[in-house]
Amino acid sequence: MNKPVGAGTSEPAITPQIVAEHGLTAEEYERVLSIMGRVPSMTELGIFSVMWSEHCSYKSSRKWLRRLPTTGKVVIQGPGENAGVIDIGDGQAAIFKMESHNHPSFIEPYQGAATGVGGIMRDVFTMGARPIANLNALRFGAPDDPKTRHLLGGVVAGIGGYGNCMGVPTVGGEVNFHSAYNGNILVNAMTVGIADKNKIFYSKAAGVGNPVIYVGAKTGRDGIHGATMASAEFTEDSEEKRPTVQVGDPFTEKLLLEACLELMATDAIVAIQDMGAAGLTSSSVEMSSKGGLGIELELDRVPMRESGMTPYEIMLSESQERMLMVIKPEAREQARAVFEKWELDFAEIGRLTESGHLVLKMNGRVYADMPVAPLVEQAPVYERPHLPTPPAQAISSTSLPARDPITSLLKLMGSADLCSRRWVWEQYDHLVMGQTVVRPGGDAAVVRLERGPKGLALTTDCTPRYCQADPKTGGAQAVAESWRNLTAVGALPLAITDNMNFGNPQRPEIMGQFVGCVEGIREACLALDYPVVSGNVSLYNETNGKGILPTPAIGGVGVIDDVGKATTIAFKDAGEAIIVIGKTAGHLGCSLYLREIEGREEGAPPPVDLAAERAHGDFVRARIGARELTACHDLADGGLLVAVAEMALAGNIGASIALPKDVPAHAFCFGEDQGRYLVTAAKPKAESLLAAARAAGVPAAMLGETGGNALTLAGGNTISLNELRAAHEGFLPALMNG
């Protein structure tokens, strides 16, 4: 017979103050008391606190996330596991997820970003996949904010430092700047891995008596309460929370990756789960709850980096590069040999039981004995009040002054949100593994699969200013843009992961943004047959009561049968026809032109017509598949003329562009109408391309011709590529090195 929980331990008695410090409300604590039937021990309270934190329980978002479409013919595993899994044919599966590390990255940018990358890679290889590509979605404050340089430099170095050492190429991503992120940057990291469809590992524990194995790095006191920190608003003194940011060791993770994959090639593993947020707590609780079993751990056996750690600290530590496994008992020695080869800790720390309880012992004393099922199933779910965002005023392009488009173009190409990101991605090893076919700087990255010629196309996208002005349209636009970016390289978009970054959900207008974005994402996913298979929610992205722009970052994955057919944005040859697919109405509301040239951040975002989006995309993809296009670029931020300039700079070939009579020049050049692509084709093929578009009911129009070393508008207004390039390439180096 066990002694009563907590007997003989030196844990403090629970007081209302301790409960409050653990972020539990009075009602939540009442629920703890009713589940436990007694006052919890300190360790038990800590476990409730992290499991019921926003970060782990999704208590504000869960109700709405259920509305997202998560099934489809390619979906093998939707949300709820370490990462989503889709069928990419030929017996293979792509496993991917995007996750935020926003708060730690603001406090300590290098380590925050690095451990974000490390965490998401573990989520993917814990399912048996070898990571083949990393991406990210980053938002920083205004370029002139005194902290931006330090944060951008640190985050980029941290992402590179971890991913480069792991030998996984970082092939794509997005970086934006806005003052709304001055006090709360966003660092969202995505990893994509490949596994055989019949060799995917899950976290569902099975087999009473099976040993529970701890592998990887040792446990220290770092990161205690990370999940709770990620569930609270920032205040002036948040930087004092530095000790709760974990420190990453990519070398250990590289060993852990190789060791796990080596063991996974055998049939030793029953279940496996990485120790991410809330460390040993969430991994042990999730594995046992999914298996409907109990779990008993001897915490003395946990490999520890420092002496004197308490059960409370061991259970809440967020030390990196650790995994928890359930293995077949007869495989013990085989498994131990693999981890010893890779010089990693391997410790049998417990076993599965039929009690349904999580039991934690140390030095012969019982520190916790709590039922697993209610801890998970009775986690609070809130229906927070939500206020819809009032509709934004439409802005007529004719109400804006006519300006010289070339002058505006030069300014836009050198602006923070449109300038070249070369300074960023040259710090990422985007070539290791030797399979990167379309490198960073285009619409989507393309990586070839080991067996080739098949490949994956990958992108991350979101336009937060649209989400702010109209959450539903913005949510749909983020999904549509990722779909369009994958299409623009010739890939068939298959599924997405979403990283929902929002402010304080207890404010109805913020909750309204969340609800609106989810609705928009839902509609776009349904219309484009593009389900959500994994994701992450990051709330409380506020500093001193000021929220960020709503930022539902979308990570899209598509497949291309032959990477040799992938298109890039670069003009390939002089004398080719430039054709715009999709209708150009010249929508300037909420555009970068309006912000950068007119200094106005307002207006309704461009409408998203999902049926047109799909028709235009299917048309373009078919033309790429038939090798009829020589270059293709999605039209997005900055509009048509910015896209022409990007294509010209990428190919170092100029262009001459015609302007229509029915749309004002500034609106035609910089409007951000959706569902459009810019493509080039050899001139003799242009007519048949336009005819095919007409036949398919897809708007398409001749825009101009490639050639020369300048961009020239009808009427003779011109700018050299050299001048454009200097502005485009100069911004970030000047900001960071200046």
Positions marked active-site: 55, 101
What SS3 class is residue 493?
strand
CB of 362 to other proteins, least distance (A): 31
**565 near other proteins (CB under 8 A):** no
From the list 55, 65, 137, the residue with the least C-alpha distance to 531 is 65
CB of 437 to other proteins, least distance (A): 5
Q: Which stretch binds other proteins (CB under 8 A): 374-382, 436-444, 517-525, 698-706?
A: 436-444
CB of 230 to other proteins, least distance (A): 28
Residues 6+ positions from 727 with CB-CB distance below 8 Å: 410, 411, 413, 414, 419
Place of tokens 């002054």: 401
How many residues would you count in the chain?
A: 738
Q: Which stretch binds other proteins (CB under 8 A): 52-60, 134-142, 163-171, 599-607?
A: 163-171
Secondary structure in 3-state letters for 361-414: EECCEEEEEEEHHHHHHCCCCCCCCCCCCCCCCCCCHHHCCCCCHHHHHHHHHC
**343 near other proteins (CB under 8 A):** yes
**108 near other proteins (CB under 8 A):** no
**276 near other proteins (CB under 8 A):** no
Measure CA 438 to chain center: 20
**383 near other proteins (CB under 8 A):** no
Compute how many residues bind other proteins; rule: CB under 8 A: 31
Answer for which of 4, 80, 329, 564 binds other proteins (CB under 8 A) is: 564
Q: Which stretch binds other proteins (CB under 8 A): 190-198, 228-236, 422-430, 522-530?
A: 422-430
Q: Are 85 and 533 in contact (CB under 8 A)?
A: yes
Residues 6+ positions from 500 with CB-CB distance below 8 Å: 61, 514, 517, 518, 535, 536, 537, 538, 552
CB of 342 to other proteins, least distance (A): 7
Residues 141-160 contacting other proteins, CB under 8 A: 157, 160
Answer for which of 54, 174, 274, 429 binds other proteins (CB under 8 A) is: 429
CB of 160 to other proteins, least distance (A): 5
**437 near other proteins (CB under 8 A):** yes
Residue placing its CB nearer to other proteins in the complex, 446 or 500: 446
Answer for which of 32, 65, 75, 165 binds other proteins (CB under 8 A) is: 165
Q: Which stretch binds other proteins (CB under 8 A): 435-443, 530-538, 708-716, 717-725?
A: 435-443
User: Which DSSP state fits 2?
Assistant: P
User: Which DSSP state fits 299?
Assistant: G
**439 near other proteins (CB under 8 A):** yes
Q: Are 254 and 384 in contact (CB under 8 A)?
A: no
Site string for other proteins, 226-265 (x = CB under 8 A): -----------------------xxxx-xx----------
CB of 246 to other proteins, least distance (A): 17
Place of tokens 């899209």: 556
CB of 165 to other proteins, least distance (A): 4
**541 near other proteins (CB under 8 A):** no
- For 712, phi and psi rounded to 5 degrees? -125, 130
Beta bridge partners of 713: 657
**436 near other proteins (CB under 8 A):** yes
**454 near other proteins (CB under 8 A):** no
| Cis amide prior to 405 (ω within 30 degrees) | no
CA distance 524 to 440: 26
Considering only CA atoms, give the Rg of the chain: 26
**730 near other proteins (CB under 8 A):** no
CB of 164 to other proteins, least distance (A): 6
CA distance 472 to 519: 6
Mark out the alpha helices in 451-581 (DSSP H runs): 464-469, 471-488, 508-528
**389 near other proteins (CB under 8 A):** no
CA distances from 659 to 142, 637, 643, 654, 666 (A): 34, 19, 15, 16, 10
**321 near other proteins (CB under 8 A):** no
**425 near other proteins (CB under 8 A):** yes
Answer for which of 434, 684, 715, 716 binds other proteins (CB under 8 A) is: 434
- For 351, phi and psi rounded to 5 degrees? -150, 160
CB of 272 to other proteins, least distance (A): 21
Residue placing its CB nearer to other proteins in the complex, 6 or 441: 441
Q: Which H or E run contains 163?
A: helix 148-166
Interface residues with other proteins (CB under 8 A) are 157, 160-161, 164-167, 249-252, 254-255, 342-343, 425-434, 436-437, 439, 448, 563-564
